[in-house]
Structure 1
Amino acid sequence: MRLPLGTGTVDVSLPDCEVRTVGRPGGTAVDPAVAAREALDDPHGPALSELVAPDDDVTVVVTDVTRATPDGTLIDAMVERLPVGRDRLSILVGLGLHRPMTDAELHEGLGEYADLATNHDPEATVEVGRVRGVGDDSVAVRVHPLVADADRVLSTGLVEPHQYAGFSGGAKTVAIGAGDDSLIGYTHGPDVLADPGVRLGRIDDNPFRGTVDRAGDAVGLDFCLNVTKGPGGILDASAGRPREVVADLAATARAALSVSMDGADTYDAVVGGVGAPKDATLYQTTRAATYLCLGDHDPVRPGGRVVLPARLQEGAGQGAGERRFYDRLRSASDAQSLYESMRSGYDPGAQRAFVVARALRDADVYVTNSEHPAVVEECLMRAADRVEDAVDPGSRVLVVPDALNTLLVEG
């Protein structure tokens, strides 16, 4: 079999094992440029030409290098319909607590619009309001000045399965991507993440998603252009009011990416494909493990293992959130004690260590083929040279070639 590794692939052979490979998720790929223009011509709510005046200052918040969003294509389609010149257009890269994008990455992702782009700085934000969180909680919403001071705020986004938001995209690009420790820390804290409504693939009655959507209202996010994707490429685009865009594309993604599983069927090892851009860091790569173990159907038997081939050319990751994730895991003696200690709270960014610890209580995680095996070993996980070295002979093995874009559901 062939699995993704970085921008390429790696061949894997497990002749001594009983192997089942789930069918690759469905969906028919479309031309992103065509889909974006069609979405903008039939938006949820008013069109861009009705929302934006010629003298408005417009900020578009875009995704960063950790998302496979065709941002340059989406901005190009927006600009065709915006009644403002380049002198009134700003682009903010929604980093959240991730590392800044390099000049080369900006040019690759944004093309001719790279010179308009600014990397978000979570240390330089201004408050635009407060929103209701879970129960009676109230949380401050602070965003980059380019967002706070704009007459109109627009965004791009990728609606894909997300451990906390159910599906990413919509207001999340702005509220989290252009935000700071206040909202990020609250939504990614143990009280929110422990709520049973916070789960992969769920947007209705999800307190994480609800808080982020309300934060988008406080920011004044007027319009978004989002896409969703499958293993073959972009599946669809949707534009307009953020909540409706997410609901629209989540339905498309759910139909294309869901694989029905027998609730009693578990495996000694589950091999998950990751690939670029997510397998550049351990922080992002571990999404595959938690998506598999903490989704609607957990295919790993108790005491089994998840095996992830990943390049990890950036090690654990270079942003503030990635460093907090790394520090939490490498300083822990075991997963159970780390999980229990983090239930009382943690800094924003460390939430990935919290959910990884939750998964590690029941399964081992192996990362293979990486450039930084020592980093893996420091973080309560195990490193191996090849997938074959991480799977015991005679194991029952489930292979999920695109683990981040496959929803294993009971059915």
Structure 2
Amino acid sequence: MTFEVPRGDGYVEVDLPDCDVTIAELPGGEPVDVREAAEAAVADPHGPPLVERANADDEVAIVVTDVTRDAPDGILVDVLFEELEAAGVDREQVTIVLGLGLHRPMDEAEIEAELDEYADLAENHDPDDTVTLGEVDDVPIEIYRPVAEADLVLTTGQSEPHQYAGFSGGAKTVIIGAGGESFIKYTHGPDMLGQESVKLGKIDGNPFREAVEEAGELVGLDFCLNVTPGPDGFLDAAAGDSGAVVRDLAETAREALAFEVDGEYDAVVSGVGAPKDAQLYQTTRGITYVVLSDGAPVKEGGRVVVPAVLDEGYGAGRGEERFYEWLSGAEDAESCYQAMLEGYEPGAQRGFVTVRSLRHADAYVTNSEDPDLVEECLMHAEETVEDAIEPGSDVLVVPKAPKTLLV
């Protein structure tokens, strides 16, 4: 059977004539025009409209997602500016903060591509320049100074399936994206991530999501505008109170992105694509989103196969460095997992869930520009997807793993 899987901005064609292949076809939905959907959401928000929350003399911070996400932040920011102008807020009163978390800073070209006419208002978040605004679960909430000192805090981005938060977006973009190391370490540590209720697609009863939302209230996140992605394009937008926004969009996503797994497979071909497959750190989502899903489609001792570009190696941020140090310095997944249970620095959590997955199944990264890196980090490198799958295998294909809920 011949099929296509994302790699970078394109696709690789795969032919597995000797295998029994199942494609994870998603219900999907009709894509919306992002601007029209965002304007409609802002006009009918959860809670008071933005024009009523803003004052003409407010200093405003808008926290947006970084280059590792593919949210249409530029359009969403433009829609928010229409509301701010209606409230009497001038352009010069607004700072746009690129919510990096512990990822690398964005360069001028990337900022221009994301924010267009608003690029001159943007600055990269610095996790070392923070203000402590209080505590959640006895952990300091450190927020990037320009956000902490703003009178009005807004955020854009997307609510999509997320390994820890259930769904991304909402307060997470501010608290993690524009936060300091202390809360990132707490929410991404082994005690939190080892809990059964911290999982992909789960919001209610998820302590990660609950901690982030409590921190968002403490910081004073005033207004959120998010979209939710489907298999092709974006499906909806919601605005207003951040918790309600995420729950609203999660309902749309669950209907559009769920695939019911029937049994276990020898191998899963997992698509990631741009921008995430530029680096190994983000590419491992194609492994963990499959192995640690509710559907758990991979047999014990099976394999997950992910085509990826890896033109940025393992990644260039502080978190990516820590991820690489753990995996490249380990002899095997089990010993690395046991060592990480004792604790690790924030950013290394992607290494933790990766080795947790590798204890169950092998991982193969194919079609990459850096096969040596893959082999160095407890995974296997092959030139093609076909090379990574044994003839006669029962194969599940998940074309867009980060946007799929395997149930």
| Corresponding letter in the other structure for 1:383 | A
Alignment match, 2:145: 145
* 1:25 Cα deviation from its structure 2 partner: 4.5
Structure 1 match to 2:75: 73
Partner letter of residue 301 of structure 1? K
Cα deviation for residue 21 of structure 1 reads 1.0
Query: In the alignment, does 2:23 pair up with 1:21?
Result: yes
Q: 1:51 pairs with 47, 50, 53, which one?
A: 53
> C-alpha deviations, 1:49-77, integer Å up to 9, x for none?
10001110010000001111100100000
Query: C-alpha distance in 2, partners of 1:261/1:151?
Result: 47
Determine helix, strand or coil for the equivalent of 2:277.
helix
Alignment-mate amino acid for residue 231 of structure 2: P
Does residue 236 (structure 1) correspond to residue 236 (structure 2)? The answer is: yes
Q: What is the CA–CA distance in structure 2 between the aligned matches of 1:299 and 1:197, rounded to whole Å? A: 19
**Which residue of structure 2 lines up, in the alignment, with residue 105 of structure 1?**
110
Equivalent of 1:316 in 314, 317, 321 = 314
Aligned pairs (5 A) from 1:292-303: 292-303=290-301
What is the CA deviation profile of residues 97-151 of structure 1, one whole-angstrom value per residue up to 9, with x for unaligned ones? 000011000000001000000000111111111112xxxxx11000111101100
Contact kept in structure 2, 1:60 and 1:156, CA below 8 Å: yes
Report the counterpart of residue 9 of structure 1 in structure 2.
Answer: 11
2:140 is aligned with what amino acid? A
Aligned-partner SS, 1:261? coil
CA distance in 2, matches of 1:20, 1:46: 46
CA distance in 2, matches of 1:104, 1:33: 23
- The counterpart of 1:278, out of the listed 270, 276, 279, is 276
CA distance in 2, matches of 1:289, 1:187: 21
**Does structure 2 retain, via aligned residues, the 8 Å contact 1:324–1:347?**
yes
Question: Alpha-carbon deviations, 1:234-265, whole Å to 9, x = none?
Answer: 11000000000000001110110001122xx1
Cα distance, 1:219 vs. partner?
Answer: 1.1
Instruction: Assess if the C-alpha contact under 8 Å between 1:24 and 1:401 holds in 2.
Output: no
Partner of 1:126: 131
Could you say which residue in structure 1 is the equivalent of 2:406? 408
Deviations 1:331-365 (A, max 9, x none): 00111111111111000001111111110001000
Unaligned runs of 5+ in 1: 133-137
What is the CA distance between 1:199 and its match in structure 2?
Answer: 0.6
User: What one-letter code is carried by the residue in structure 1 that aligns with 2:111?
Assistant: L
Which residue pairs with 2:245 in the alignment? Answer: 245
C-alpha contact 2:27 2:255 (8 A) present in aligned 1:
no
Which residue number corresponds to residue 135 of structure 1?
A: none
Structure 2 counterpart of 1:86, which letter? R
- Please give the root-mean-square deviation of Cα atoms over the aligned residues, in Å: 0.7
Tell me the equivalent position of 1:37. 39
C-alpha contact 2:254 2:405 (8 A) present in aligned 1: yes
Residue of structure 2 equivalent to 1:388 = 386
**Mapped partners of 1:190, 1:25: distance in 2:** 34
Matched residues in 2 for 1:157 and 1:250: separation?
14
Q: Is the 8 A contact 1:141 1:215 kept in 2?
A: yes
Tell me which stretches of 4 or more aligned residues in structure 1 moved more than 2 Å.
Answer: none
Residue in 2 that maps onto 1:305: 303
Could you state the TM-score of these two structures normalised by the residue count of structure 1?
A: 0.97
CA distance in 2, matches of 1:267, 1:318: 34
In the other structure, the counterpart of 2:220 is 220
**TM superposition shift of 1:24:** 3.4
AA matched with 2:401: A
Q: Find out whether 1:96 has 2:101 as its counterpart.
A: yes
Give the partner amino acid of 1:26: G
- Structure-1 separation of matches of 2:188 and 2:299: 28
Specify which of 263, 266, 272 is matched with residue 264 of structure 2.
266
Q: Deviations over 1:18-60 (max 9, x none)?
A: 1111213412100000000000000000111100011100100
Residue 170 of structure 1 pairs with residue 170 of structure 2? yes
- TM-score, normalising length: structure 2: 0.98
- On the 8 A contact 1:366/1:390 being kept in 2, the answer is yes
Opposite residue 309 of structure 1, the aligned amino acid is P
**Residue 197 of structure 2 aligns with which residue?**
197
Residue 161 of structure 2: aligned partner: 161
In structure 2, what is the Cα distance between the partners aligned to 1:195 and 1:266?
A: 24
Distance 1:184 1:157 in 2: 19
Contact 2:72 2:114 in 1 (8 A): yes
Q: Equivalents in 2 of 1:37, 1:379: separation in Å?
A: 45
Q: Secondary structure at the match of 2:203?
A: coil
